[in-house]
Structure 1
């Protein structure tokens, strides 16, 4: 991994850097294959909510804005109260409960061989951090 500085952040603070993982082409290819198969399954089985746009092909923030505008208009026309919440989760990917994610994938019907691969990929991962050409010892992620 190499740390990349976030614009406008204090260079003296470790939190001001984004870790970028440098992996082999083989690993990147496997990641893409698993991701494509997983997304295909979730889409074809209609597991994802239609309102979910993040990380989905042919969905965008414009879709979300249109959906919200329509909900507001409908509530106004029907003289109903509408509540909306915006949530911005900091470091959301760092906080994913991987065991819970695996349980949810299993409940969605993801095949056991795919689950085993994802479990193996997520657990006991190690990396080395490289700063200014110096590489540190392996650390558990």
Structure 2
């Protein structure tokens, strides 16, 4: 069972890492991207659920359940911000969705390398595309 769960976790994570930028590019090109958005949300949910299950199964890693919940929360809140017309959605959405993507990337890099530096680098580097997205969203007509 753990091998199948790990395979699901890797598959969902890979899908999220591919669909995230695809969704962003579709939105920037005014092509909607609803399918990619839904796929990204499903992928993040799959990563969060399988990651939490794996964390509980390995002694000493239960604290990663909080990371799974936070990652899922960021993705869902980011998707809802615009759809629900939150007053500050143009500022919040890039941080929320960018944060969920940075969490996926962090997990892949930490798992792949084991280096603790990857706990910080994706969050720092993500600030550039988040700032660009915020600038683009604030330039849209109200």
Q: TM-score range by the shorter chain?
A: under 0.3
Q: Which has the larger radius of gyration?
A: 1
* Higher helix proportion (structure 1 or 2): 2
* Higher strand proportion (structure 1 or 2): 1
TM-score normalised by length of structure 1: 0.27
TM-score normalised by length of structure 2: 0.27
